[in-house]
A and B are shown apart, each in its own frame.
Chain A
Amino acid sequence: MIQITDQVLDPAAVQRQLGSVDAGASVVFTGTTRRLTAGRETVDLTYECYRELAEKSMRELESTARARWELVECIVLHRLGVVPLGEASVVVGVSAPHRDAAFEAARWLIDTLKERVPIWKQEHWADGSRQWIHPGVTSPTGLGGDGHAR
């Protein structure tokens, strides 16, 4: 199940949705808004996406993960709009008969989502400036992402 939403994400609810008597292992990864990046202070993050393509890409991630690992449940949620400090922007949950598949699939899903799914974050820094993060793009106009922990 994949979903892009404006609503607050609840990792505990995802954990409950993974429950199955066919599962021997479940992994929930939660990505949250962090206060410090390379010494700079973040106020909050704002996310936007190209919804049609992002949903299509996320569905492809789920079907690829299910083909590659034996999974019971597979849940990928991403929040849009302003995400305050400490709140979740992304939750990936998988359950599987065995833990290796659960760990590996969860790791692959979050890494590949970050790389491929057309979703973008804008940093709102404590000095009041705002900056779209685009890994690999550096420019004097203040756009960029090099050195930003992903």
Chain B
Amino acid sequence: MVVKVLFFAAAREISGTGMMEVSLEDDATLGQLKQGLVEQFPGLMHVLGHSAISIDREYATDARILYHGAEVAILPPSSGG
């Protein structure tokens, strides 16, 4: 399956992209996706550890099983206002 990953703010700066598509084994979890992202972008580990993640605009935990076409967003701590 293929999921879309969105990066914002510091996470976007570290990965060098706002969006990428990632191929995963069927039934891969969000935790496995995060592990793969850290392998690809080691500098992301620290920010990722503090970030919330959404799947199709709902907040999700590492145990969640991903699905083809999911939109996964890496959301570092907010600083709006």
Q: Do A and B come from one complex?
A: yes
Interface residues of chain A, those whose CB is within 8 Å of chain B, are: 31, 47-50, 52-54, 56, 78, 89-90, 110, 113-122, 132-137, 139, 141, 143, 145, 148, 150
A78 partner residues in chain B, CB cutoff 8 A: 80-81
How many residues belonging to B are interface residues under a CB distance threshold of 8 Å? 21
B47 partner residues in chain A, CB cutoff 8 A: 134, 137, 139, 143
Which 4 residue pairs spanning A and B have beta carbons closest together?
A119-B80, A120-B9, A133-B79, A114-B81
A122 partner residues in chain B, CB cutoff 8 A: 9
Residue pair A53, B9 in contact (C-beta under 8 Å): no
Q: Which of A52, A120, A139 touches B80 (beta carbons < 8 Å)? A: A120
A56 to B75, CA, bound (A): 15
Q: Which residues of chain B from 16 to 75 have any CB-CB distance to chain A below 8 Å in the complex?
A: 43, 46-47, 50, 52, 54, 57, 73, 75
Residue pair A145, B77 in contact (C-beta under 8 Å): yes
Residue pair B57, A115 in contact (C-beta under 8 Å): no
